Structures are given as C-alpha cells and as structure tokens.
Structure 1
Amino acid sequence: MTIPGPVESVEPVVRTACGAVRGRTEDGLTVFRGIPFAQPPVGEARFAAPRRPRPWDGVRDAYAFGPPPPQDLGVAGTVGPPDVPEGDDWLTVNVWTPAPDPAAHRPVMVWIYGGAYKLGHSGSPAYDARRIAADGDLVVVTLNYRVGMEGFAHIEGAPANRGLLDQVAALAWVQDNIAAFGGDPDQVTVFGESAGAGSVASLLAIPRAAGLFRRAIAQSVPGTFFSDELARDIGAAFAAEIGLRPTVADLSGVAPDQLVKAGQALTAKMPGHAARWGQAVSTMTPYAPVVDGEVLPVTPWRALASGAARDVALIVGHNRDENRLFTAMAGKLGQIDEARASASLRRNAPGGEAAYRTAFPDASANDLYERVQTDWVFAMPTLHLAEAHLAGGGRAHVYELTWPAPAQGGALGACHALDIPLLFGTFQESLALLQFAGAEPSEEALALSARFRSSWTAFARTGDPGWPAYDTERRLVQVLDAEPTVAPYPEETSRRLWEGYEFAPLPLLGPQA
C-alpha cells in the first residue's frame, strides 16, 4: 500500500508499483529523482521496446537524476550535460510535488525535452521544474527517453520510434503511480518543446498513447517526419559508417558512444545525400519520428484532422524568429546571402521562390531566409496542427512569442528555445546563456516568465489558459510580448502562403539503397 503523506520527515518515502523510493524536501517541495520507469535498454533489451522495471526490495534513494541517454553533442553552441551519473539506467522519471499526499489529487504536468531527437535529458538544469510545481500548486514529472540511433534510427528487427515508445511507457508509469505522489492520473497534461513538441504531436497520433493524458501543450512543433522508406535508407547509411548492416544482430554489440560517432559522421555528410533525402538534409539531423504504419500510423496532422484526439485540449504555439538561434550558433546571424536564401526558398517554400519574394517584396535575402526557414520547420507545422485539431472536432489555443531575447542587442529576436527559460525560470542554463548573455533577467522578463507559468498551469488545471480558443474566422492568438495581447494571428502573410499545404512524411527521392 502507499505510505500516506505528507510523511513527517525531511526525506519522505513513497511506495511505487515496483518498490519504495525516498525523496528530499527542497524549497517547500518534495522532489524524487531517477526513478526507473523501464529496464535499462541494454544487453538483450537493446533497441527493444521498453520493458517494465524490475521490482526492488527496501527503499531506493531517489536523490539524483538518472544518467542521460547517449548524447550527440555535436551541435554548435549547445552545452553538454553537467555533472551527471554514468550508467545505462537511462529510462527514469523525476517528480516535483507540493506534498506526496494520495488524497491531494493535484493536476500533473509531464515534460518532454527537445534536442533534434538526438540529444537532451531530463536532468538538465534548464528543466528544473520547481517553479512550475510551486507556482501552479501541481505535480510535475520530467522523463528521459532514448534519442539518436538508440531511439530513432531505423534498425531491422527493432520497433520504430523507440524514443516515442519510451515516452508512452513513462506516461503509463504516471497513470500507475502518480496518485501516491499527490497527483491526479485523470488530470495529466503532457508538454514539450521542439523535438519534445514533435513528440507531443506524435503522442496525439499514437493509438497506444490514447487515454494516458487529458491535455497537451506543443511548443514549436517541427514539421519533419520521415517516411518508412526514407528512414530505412538513412538507417542503412548509418550502419555503413561502421561497416555493418542496419540490423539488431549487427548493431547491438556496438558501444553506444560509437553509434553516436557514426551519427555525427553521417550528419556531416548529409548535404551529399540531398538528391535522395531532399528536405531532410537541410534540418541537419538524421533523426525524426517515422510514420511506420504501426507505432505511428499517420502524421499528427492527418490523425488530428480525422478526430483521433478530439477529446484532448491543446495549446500550440511558436516563436516569431525561430531560426535565428541556428544562424547565430553557426556564426551567420544577419549574414545570409542571396545564394543561400534562394536555395532555401527553392527547396522549402510552397509555390517556389517567387511566392515568398512576391509576398515579402521589401525583405532582404537574410530576412527571406530566416522567414522561410522559420515557417517550414516550426511556425506553419505548429499552426497547421491547431487547424487540423479543429477540423477533427478538437479545441486548440494558439500563441506566438514575439518578445525578443535581450542578448546581442535584440538581434536574436524571439528565437527558438527562448520559451524554455521563460517557462521554467532558468535564465542561467544551457541556451539561455546565449539568449540572455548570462545577465540577470529584467523585471520585464520575470513578468513574462510568470505569465508563461500561470497560463500553462491554469490550462493544466482547467483547460483554459486565459485566452480564446483558435478558430478559422477570427484566428485569435495570444501574443506573448512585454505587454501580452490577444490579436489575430500575426503571421497572416505566411499563413496564406502555406494554406492547403500538407505536412506529409518526407519521402525517399530515388530507389532505396
């Protein structure tokens, strides 16, 4: 039975389905870290769907975050993991709760990190959830899932989308255990950013995730999903980097860090595969959810339009200047020339290059590049997800973050991932160091940060974030700036350019290798 709470101790104990865990009281919250929700995916479990954790005797200390899954840190400007434990117990969850009282029935928010489907871990200081839990008086869970080749590469004999299956397993753990931590399993909101938002969108479309959460928040949804044929071809190229076949038999004996290196080598060669891999090349990540017809039967847009998640309330939104983060990390901020702009417009703009040049006649080459890159990777997939949800009978609230990051005199604009420090209040961690230049946040930033948390937690509690639901007549969205307002969707020109566009699985352009 569950030990009733709150326990009169600075180290409260909660009994989960697999055994008792001991947490710590920190800043008025009780925090449990590194609780396994599945067995380590190594040995005979390598590349397999997650398996239920083995029970343990006694009380397990839940003081430290679990080790991160193998990380591809070869992204310019990213900060590697801080001091984290080593090991292969990658599949763990962490819980922040006002009190582990089974009678509390608090709403639950479950965070899924981003990282291009190839890096990220829940122990990152950027995802310290104490402010969300405290401000919202709710329970917050963060989780690890396999990334890179371990989680998303197509490997014969292994299920596709293993990283997504990890997330489903973690959400099932929440259903089975969160009441003991003071949470309500019938009031679960899943939220994530970038690849985490792509994961949230995928969970809305995955049949085995149905019923595991009631609400969802997707921040900057990437539009890149791979077809099965493309994923197979990329998987073959991965294995070829180390002279092997893309099979469980060949790859299961290769050390995880060697697979990371193979992925990095392939990423560097992606431009040379443009004739076969098309738009996938310009993302510079060889990983994405795979529309395999089984784990993920169809794209999220198609699933939502068919009503697959009509009972799940949704917040979706993006940042105005998403792509500037990537040009800044590449040292090219404000320096994109006509040739590079034209190449991106030809490859990514619906209607071709002329459509964007006509729609934005006064835009420089640099600004056209930033606009089309932002639109096709994040902004339009995000908006289309809301519209698909409406078409399927669901309800969606849309936002756009327009407040500019203060670093570099505001040149970064409202760039990708700026919403993370604003939501979590972690201004001195990871990419926030680039966006805020290490400076203390201004009163304006702190006020916007509080606004993020109050809206997100209100939605988790009631389904209403404090602004109207989106519709295709008024198109009202929450514009998050120094003075937040509700207004018609600001990117109307882009919206019209992409009207009717389908975010289909990216195809393989040529015969499979």
Structure 2
Amino acid sequence: MSAPVLAHTVTVRAERAVDTGAVHSRDTADGVAHFAGIRYGERLDATDRFSPLGNPAPECPQGPSTVFPQAPGSLDWLIGPAISRLPQSEDSFLLDVWAPEGASDLPVLVFLPGGAFVSGGGNVSWYDGTRLAGEGGAVVVTVSYRLGALGLLGGPETPLNLGLQDILHALKWVSANIAGFGGDPAAVTLAGHSAGAWYAYVLSFAAQAKGLFCRTALFSLPWQPPLTGAAYRERWELFTDALRAAGPGSLATAPVQAILEAQATVGKAYAGRGLGLMPAADGDLVPGWAMEFSEAAASFHVESLLISSTENEAAAFLHALPVDAVSPEQVEGFVAAHFEDPGAVLEFLDSRLPDATPHARLGEAMSLHQFRLTATELAGQAGAAGLDATLLRFSVDSRLQGAGSPHCFELPFLFGNREGWTDSPMLTGFPDEVFASVSDQLRSLVLGFVRDGRARTIDGEPVGFFDTDRPQLHRLTETGLATTGTEPALRARR
C-alpha cells in the first residue's frame, strides 16, 4: 500500500545535470518511488505565455500536480473524466518519474499522452508508471506539454509548435538528470499515444532531438500531415475572430476561458474535416514532409520502432454519430476520397463485415485509413531503410456496445493499473482475469522493447521484426498473441 510520505529523496548529480535541488518522492509502492510534479522547465519570460523554456529554478524543483488549460476531452464518454479532477495552470511544465528503489543504469521509458493536441496531461491517474517500472526494471517518465492555442499558435504567419518545443526541453532534462534517479540516459525509449505518438514520431527524425533517445514506441499514430502555411493562417484568422467577438484582449492577454471558447469555435468549424488545431509545418522542428514515411524513415536517428494500433480505432470518434445517420452512399464517398482503389476497399469491407451497418463500415474504413494502414506503411518504410520495426495490433474488445477495440483502449492494459480507470466506461464489465492476462502480455512486449529494442512474449521469446517481403503483424487478442498477415495491399490516398 502506498504511504503518503516523503519516503525517498534524490539530489540530482548527473554529469550534465542542471541544479534541480532536492526532489522528493510523493509515495513508495511495491518497491517503486514516485517523484511527482518535477519541473523540467520554466518560461524564460514569465510574463509571456508564448515564451520558450529555460531550466527550472533549483529552489522550486517540484510543484503541485496540475494540467495545462483545456476543455473536457471529446473522448471522456469513453475513457472517463479523471483529468477533470486536476487543477489547471499555464505553468504545468511538469513530469513524473517512477523508479525502483536502488535503481542504477536502468532503461528509461518516457511517455507522452495524447488528447488531439488540445487536452491531456502526463500526471493523470491513468498513467501511473508503478507496474511498468517495478516489473520491467525501468525508470518511467510521463510528460505534460502545452496544449491548444497556447501550444500551437503564435502569430498569423508563425506557428510556434510550443508543445513540441516543451517535449524537446523535457527530453533534454531527462538526458541531463535521469541518472540521478537510476536511469541510463543512453537507453531512453520515447513513447507516445495518439497526439503524443505524433510528437514522438516527429522527434524521431528531428535533428534537435538526436542523441536524446534511441528507440521509439508509437501507439495509435494518426495519419495527420502538418498544416500548410495557408491552412494555419485560415485557422489563425478564425480563432482570432472568435476571440475578438468574445471581448477585448488579444491572444497574449485574453483570459484562459476565452481562449478555450475560441478553440471550440475552430474545432466546430472543422468538424468532419479534421482537427481544428494541430501542429503546422514550421521549417524547423516540423517539416512539410513529416508524414511522407520514406523521407522520414531515411532521416530517423533512432535504431528501432514499435508501432501499434487498435483494431477499431475510429469507433471512439463515431460514437456521437447516430447509427442510422450513415448511408451506404456516405461510406462509398469516404472510400472514394481516401483510397487509391475504392472498389478493392469496398470488397474488403464486404468480406470483413458482411452484415454490418453503414455506420460500422464507415468506422472500419476510417480505422484502416487513419491508423492501421498508417502503421503498416511506416513499418514498411522503416524496414526498407534498415531499421528494426515491430508491428503490433491490439485486438481486444471492450464490453461497451459498439466500441470494439477503440482508440485509447490499450492504455489501461499498458500501464496495468485498472484502479486508475475506475470510472472509465470502456472498461465497464470487462473481466478482471482477462484484463490481467492481456495486460501482462502487452507490458511484456513493450518492456522487452524498452530493454533492448526487441518486443518479447511473457516467456521471453522475441517476436519478429516487420519483413517487407512478407508483411506481418503481431495481433494481441484475449486468447494470446498471434502472428498474422496484414490487410491486403490496399493503398490509402495520401
């Protein structure tokens, strides 16, 4: 049982460490110390909400657990409202660390949460790293970064991508300081989910991040090219018009609530057409070719990739759309717009979901285009570039009607902390014994990758890397892990 005491104290003394002062653990459970609310940076100009970061002041190494300003998440109906229980602050430049007591030179897992670039936080109860750290003999780090307009907008011509800059600063902090917690700065795996996976992916070929991590694990990486200059300006104008209509004040001075309301206006304007706010090509960290996988793979500075998706990703996003609101013609229209050979895709849908509603067929087509083919394409290009890539599919169904294996569903299994998801509807009715079995298998795969770049079964057997000549994936179901073929040669329209 956790004890709410300062049970462990670390004063960082790594070779390149900044002076962070004494960092205290909030509690210790199962031989793992949890260091909560560690400041990895502070704005260089405290009066400028768009300031880049500098090193944190040593006299304030930790802060209360807060998250960056955000509205309730669009997937709260699925994952639950845990994040709403944390206070919000524009200074949530915080990370949490879990380290086995007595740790020394252990591999490090840095996890970036998702949230469509507008919500989320690394210190939510969902991402408790106790089991990953204790069972995997690893140091686990979760990171919070700036969100929404405060993390993505700058001026009408200049996207700042501050969320990505924050993560880069946090990685530099980890490289300089993680040895003081028992981690090996030369054995860092950067992992992310959804928007966090997008950021982890981009940093895997960003020259500024070279040497800060050596492996990348991507969970539900979305197909999401960065905004062009014109698309960014369009969103900027829509946002500033909405902010101006709400009352006096600019983006630099407006109250947070007004900013969140203006964000919502942008989101509604792009509903059904993509994300309202997201990273834009900036000629620096985010190149315009970011989602051209052949170019990205040739530029990767990591040695291995783990690429995972769930079976029914899009079921999470179509929940609000009534089943009878989707017609066969709408499915055919989506397929024609998003695939090179619409006829082949429609045949695939017929064979895979012979008696399904158009609503379910649309979800399958969206999951295929946005996530599953994205994972397969990236694995293929990485393999062609000589990188070790492991392709994983999480195919365990929620008991929530119509959800299947939706976006986010693998997360409680990955962290192995069902108690952190007690109010998550997607786990309602899910058998404890099945949860434990699947969770053990998923953690084994991921922790094997964290240790040496090779995902491993519970029995310690390594799973195969992606072979471009015989494309296969490793599918995790309730009954175990099986190696199967990928989808037919269906080409998404990119």
* Alpha-carbon distance between aligned partners in 1 of 2:304 and 2:27, rounded to the nearest angstrom: 33
* Alpha-carbon distance between aligned partners in 2 of 1:56 and 1:343, rounded to the nearest angstrom: 59
Larger deviation, residues 331-340 vs 119-128: 331-340
Q: Secondary structure at the match of 1:260?
A: helix
1:68 aligned partner: 67
Structure 1 runs not aligned, ≥5 long: 1-7, 272-280, 503-513
1:401 aligned partner: 394
* Alpha-carbon distance between aligned partners in 2 of 1:150 and 1:100, rounded to the nearest angstrom: 39
2:101 aligned partner: 99
2:238 aligned partner: 237
Deviation at 1:343, TM superposition (A): 4.0
Q: Which of 33, 52, 55 in structure 1 is aligned with 2:55?
A: 52
**Amino acid paired to 1:405:** S
- Shift of the 156–25 alpha-carbon distance from structure 1 to 2, 3 Å rule, reads same
Q: Does 1:161 align with 2:161?
A: yes
Q: Secondary structure at the match of 1:243?
A: helix
Deviation at 1:304, TM superposition (A): 5.1
**Amino acid paired to 2:479:** E
Q: Is the 8 A contact 2:159 2:282 kept in 1?
A: no
Q: Which of 264, 272, 278 in structure 2 is aligned with 1:288?
A: 278
* Alpha-carbon distance between aligned partners in 1 of 2:150 and 2:294, rounded to the nearest angstrom: 26
- Per-residue deviation, residues 452-507 of structure 1 (Å, max 9, x unmatched): 111111111111102100011222221101233342334x23xx1216x54xxxxx
1:483 aligned partner: 479
TM-score with structure 2 length normalisation?
A: 0.87
Q: Secondary structure at the match of 1:369?
A: helix
Larger deviation, residues 146-155 vs 166-175: 146-155
Deviation at 1:435, TM superposition (A): 1.4
Deviation at 1:126, TM superposition (A): 0.9
- Shift of the 366–172 alpha-carbon distance from structure 1 to 2, 3 Å rule, reads same
Deviation at 1:253, TM superposition (A): 0.9
* Alpha-carbon distance between aligned partners in 1 of 2:483 and 2:364, rounded to the nearest angstrom: 20
- Shift of the 79–340 alpha-carbon distance from structure 1 to 2, 3 Å rule, reads farther
1:2-151 equivalences in 2 (<5 Å): 10-15=7-12, 17=18, 18-27=20-29, 28-40=31-43, 43-56=46-59, 60=61, 64-65=64-65, 67-73=66-72, 75=74, 77=77, 79=81, 81-99=83-101, 101=103, 104-151=104-151
Larger deviation, residues 68-77 vs 195-204: 68-77
Q: Is the 8 A contact 1:30 1:100 kept in 2?
A: no
* Alpha-carbon distance between aligned partners in 2 of 1:443 and 1:119, rounded to the nearest angstrom: 32
Q: Is the 8 A contact 1:305 1:391 kept in 2?
A: no
Q: Is the 8 A contact 1:69 1:145 kept in 2?
A: yes
* Alpha-carbon distance between aligned partners in 1 of 2:292 and 2:127, rounded to the nearest angstrom: 28
- Per-residue deviation, residues 115-159 of structure 1 (Å, max 9, x unmatched): 111100012111111111111011000010011111123534755
1:227 aligned partner: 228
**Amino acid paired to 1:116:** A
* Alpha-carbon distance between aligned partners in 2 of 1:335 and 1:131, rounded to the nearest angstrom: 43
* Alpha-carbon distance between aligned partners in 1 of 2:259 and 2:391, rounded to the nearest angstrom: 38
Q: Is the 8 A contact 1:160 1:292 kept in 2?
A: yes
- Shift of the 83–477 alpha-carbon distance from structure 1 to 2, 3 Å rule, reads same
* Alpha-carbon distance between aligned partners in 2 of 1:260 and 1:481, rounded to the nearest angstrom: 39
1:360 aligned partner: 349
**Amino acid paired to 1:71:** Q
Q: Is the 8 A contact 2:332 2:346 kept in 1?
A: no
* Cα RMSD, aligned residues only: 2.6
* Alpha-carbon distance between aligned partners in 2 of 1:80 and 1:263, rounded to the nearest angstrom: 22
- Shift of the 431–196 alpha-carbon distance from structure 1 to 2, 3 Å rule, reads farther
Q: Is the 8 A contact 1:427 1:440 kept in 2?
A: no
Q: Is the 8 A contact 1:188 1:214 kept in 2?
A: yes
**Amino acid paired to 1:75:** S
* Alpha-carbon distance between aligned partners in 2 of 1:485 and 1:344, rounded to the nearest angstrom: 32
> Percent identical across equivalent pairs?
24
Q: Is the 8 A contact 1:175 1:212 kept in 2?
A: yes
- Shift of the 426–333 alpha-carbon distance from structure 1 to 2, 3 Å rule, reads farther
Deviation at 1:41, TM superposition (A): 7.8
1:301-450 equivalences in 2 (<5 Å): 301-302=292-293, 305=296, 307-309=298-300, 311-328=302-319, 330=320, 332=322, 336-352=326-342, 354-361=343-350, 363=354, 364=356, 365-408=358-401, 411-429=402-420, 433-437=424-428, 439=429, 441-450=431-440
Deviation at 1:42, TM superposition (A): 7.3
